[in-house]
Structure 1
Amino acid sequence: MPRNKEQNEEIRCQRRDAIIRGALKVYVEKGYAAAEIGDVAEQAGVARGLVYYYFKDKLALFRELFKYMFDQSQKHLHSHFDKEDPVCEILEKFVSSMYNNMLEQSESVQFFMRMRHDLNELFKPDELKNLTWHFENIQVIQNTLTRGMESGEIRRMAPKLLAGQYWGVVMSGMMYLRQMNQELQNQGKSKAEIAQTIQQDIKDAIACCMSLVAPPMQVNSKGDDEN
């Protein structure tokens, strides 16, 4: 029985998604310059010609990969920060998800660690100005921090500064944990063994992030910290 329009569209979407995922695998392994369409086709499980059917060339494919990953980053951030939960809870759950996802979705982490080296290769200067995903992410964090300061949940300081510092510490922890993850992989450790080994490091990395937004210190009438 011939496929209907909806079925054909679903198949096209599945193939396109498979190609994007294949491009991600190739990119984190080789980077843009060394990546080849044949490698992407092999990872996606499709014919080389089918890649060109959906994307006119290598540049178009990897530009689409970058835009897809930026969109996924924003969706992940909004899934946490669009909530009206206590601010410290939002901040802690977000950074916890980032660090634990590193073990489960290491390709995404590797992409964002590598992508800054290829932005100028894939996008023109005027296009880079329109790639505002990072600034929008920081703004979302800033808005939540402002809410926390107004409610007294976190200490008061310049929200924009604190948002940048929070993001920087999150990324610093990510790089540290990624390095540990790689070292343990090189030692032949399994995923389960790695997860168990670095659990305390993940907790410490989360604590570092949360120390930036610690609630205001309670001070007694003598000016000493309360016990």
Structure 2
Amino acid sequence: MQAARAQSSLEVPGPSNQYQPYVPPSPAPPPLIRLAPAGGDNGDTIQLLPQYSNPPPPQTSPPPINVAPMTAQAAPALPSVFRGCWSGQVTQLDWIRREPGAPKIGFWTPKTYRLCYKRVGDQPFTLTFTQTGVEPNEKIINPRGQVVPISTDGHAYALMRSMLDFDEYKIRADGFSPTFAVNENTNLDCRIAGDDMIVSADVYGTRDSEPWFRAHWRADFHKFEN
């Protein structure tokens, strides 16, 4: 996917009134998209950037993603096992598929996440800092993003939402052309296991506000500060 992402840090604002709770995906599977063979790219496949040449292992057909918006509500208090700072990197996808009629999917670059769940003064524990982005890339400008908690079981599980926006240059034979706007809305299913946060994520991407792709990945985030 051409959607290479640059890192962006910020303090998390209050929840938006334009989103609803996550709805579990239905079981009907769409076609699986694997890495393109040499010379066989038809725009439905994704490739890793050269420095990340190992493709994901073969996967079974994925279910469709229902990345629903959130409603206006107070951010939930996460369980104590989430306290501290966590970081993770997403180097590979389990699968990705292009939305019907959407533009071709280009290169995928590793995504990065950093989350801190701490207390500020006498306030309750909150996500005091989040960072979501990608490795630096000359094709990406104006990155901005945030992560917000959506729900929790009160023990070791939480659903969070990552929203990442940036502008990407189009590539032509004669060089770069004007940019297009990319938005990635990602549901993060997070479960704590010791000093690891096990994350499974569903991604819905748009290009110039039009449906572009859906994808799924899994990664382990590691605690780097208590």
Give TM class, smaller chain.
under 0.3
Q: Answer 1 or 2: which has greater helix percent.
A: 1
Q: Which has the larger radius of gyration?
A: 1
Q: TM-score, normalised by structure 2?
A: 0.24
Q: TM-score, normalised by structure 1?
A: 0.24
Higher relative contact order (CA 8 A, sep 6+): 2
Q: Answer 1 or 2: which has greater strand percent.
A: 2
